[in-house]
Every structure is written in C-alpha cells, then in structure tokens.
C-alpha cells in the first residue's frame, strides 16, 4: 500500500480492480476544505486515460508490473508467439491484446512484454523501428514538390506514405508513436 501523497509519475497502482500507471499528478490544497490529489491515469489493460481524484491521506494498492525481454517468433492466425530471452519459454499473445502494434512486428524482433501476475498487459515497442519497403511505385521524374509522398507497403504488410525518392527494397525508419515515415535507414 502506498499513500497518495507519495505518488510519482510512472508508478503503477490498482484502483477499483483495474491497473493504472500514473501519467501525472497534482497535490491541491484549497483555501477551504481538505487537501486532495488530482491524477491522470492510464489503464494498462485497455489503454484508456482517465482523471481521478483521491482524498489526501488515502492509501492505494501498488501493482507490481514485470517487463520481460522477449523475441517475436511468428504468428499463427490471431495468436502471436514470443520467446523469453532468459529461459527460452514461449508465450502466445492474441491479436486483441497486442492491438495496433501488430503492424510493427517482424520476425526475430526484440521487445519488452509487460506482465501483471502472469497476465499479459501488452508490449513495449521502441520509439522507432526499421522496416523494408516491399512494394512502392517508382517516383515520377519532375515531380519534386517539397512535400510529395507516395504509398508504400512495408515487410509487415503495413501501408504508409513515403517521400518520392524511396525505392522498393530500401529500409526506412518508422515512428511507432504515430506510424509515420521518419527517415531512411
């Protein structure tokens, strides 16, 4: 148990049966009445963000979150298989748990998987990832406007917009935050 006055950003807590990470918090001492702590919390199961107010002096249960380094092996239908890099055990995670992050997964990729008491909460991708362009149209000569983009399909099947100078077979760096092209690899 932890007192709400001891909150820190990034801490994980359990409130009303849900697991949250603290995005931000603020201690408020109004002129009249008791002090309270206003927080912004991110649900680790659903990804939803909520605002929650705690009375000062209340205690919350802390949630012990484990991050294990794992390697993505392959997918079979909607199940994605990962291998623990320490003990070589394998874990299958359904597409519904991974969500939109499946478009960044390529075989033999190392990443961290988040667990809470044996339950898989999700995966932590790096901020940027390198992927190969497997299909794109050649750039049209003379079309050199500063913000000209074309469609490209990456090795994971994800489609993005890339600049005209990117050719098929090149490796590009993609942001996993917004899914956009960053630079050539």
Give residue limits of the domains in the chain. 2-62, 65-124, 128-184
Phi (first) and psi of residue 104, to 5 degrees: -105, 0
CB atoms closer than 10 angstroms to residue 99: 12
pLDDT tens-digit map of 68-117: 888 988 888 888 899 988 888 888 888 888 878 888 888 888 888 888 88
The pLDDT assigned to 67 comes to 87
Cα(2)–Cα(138) distance, integer angstroms: 58
3-state secondary structure of 98: helix
Same topology between domain 2-62 and domain 65-124: no
Over residues 123-131, the mean pLDDT reads 85
The pLDDT assigned to 137 comes to 83
Q: Is the dihedral of CA 134, 138, 144, 148 positive or negative?
A: negative
At 39, is the pLDDT very low, low, confident or very high (cuts 50, 70, 90)? very high
At 24, is the pLDDT very low, low, confident or very high (cuts 50, 70, 90)? very high
At 141, is the pLDDT very low, low, confident or very high (cuts 50, 70, 90)? low
Domain 65-124 falls under CATH 2.40.50.140: yes
Choosing among 2.40.50.140, 2.60.40.3680, 3.30.470.20, 2.60.40.180, the CATH entry for 128-184 is 2.40.50.140
The answer to whether residue 51 scores a pLDDT higher than 90 is yes
3-state secondary structure of 153: strand
The answer to whether residue 145 scores a pLDDT higher than 90 is no
The answer to whether residue 40 scores a pLDDT higher than 90 is yes
CATH architecture of 2-62: Roll (2.30)
The pLDDT assigned to 140 comes to 65
User: Which residue, chain included where needed, has tokens 């201690």?
Assistant: 27
Phi (first) and psi of residue 79, to 5 degrees: -105, 130
Kindly compute the dihedral angle of the four CA atoms of residues 125, 128, 131, 135, in this order, to the nearest 10 degrees: 110
Q: Which are the contacts of 105, defined by CB distance < 8 A and separation ≥ 6?
A: 72, 75, 80, 98, 156
- Radius of gyration, alpha carbons of the chain: 22
Over residues 150-178, the mean pLDDT reads 86
Higher per-residue pLDDT: 140 or 16: 16
Mean pLDDT, the chain, whole residue set: 85
Over residues 129-147, the mean pLDDT reads 74
The pLDDT assigned to 75 comes to 85
């Amino acid at each position: 148990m932890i007192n709400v006055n001891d909150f820190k950003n990034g801490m994980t807590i359990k409130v009303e049966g849900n697991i949250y990470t603290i995005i931000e918090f603020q201690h408020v001492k109004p002129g009249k009445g008791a002090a309270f702590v206003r927080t912004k919390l991110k649900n680790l199961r659903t990804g939803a963000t909520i605002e929650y107010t705690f009375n000062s002096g209340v205690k919350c249960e802390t949630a012990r979150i484990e991050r294990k380094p794992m390697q993505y092996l392959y997918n079979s239908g909607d199940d994605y298989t990962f291998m623990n890099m320490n003990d070589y055990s394998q874990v299958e995670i359904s597409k519904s748990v991974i969500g939109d992050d499946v478009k960044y997964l390529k075989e033999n990729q190392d990443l961290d998987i988040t667990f809470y008491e044996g339950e898989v909460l999700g995966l932590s991708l790096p901020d940027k990832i390198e992927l190969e362009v497997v299909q794109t149209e050649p750039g049209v000569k003379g079309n050199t406007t500063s913000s000209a983009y074309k469609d490209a399909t990456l090795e994971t099947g994800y489609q993005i917009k890339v600049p005209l100078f990117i050719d098929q077979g090149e490796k590009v760096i993609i942001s996993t935050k917004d899914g956009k092209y960053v630079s050539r690899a």
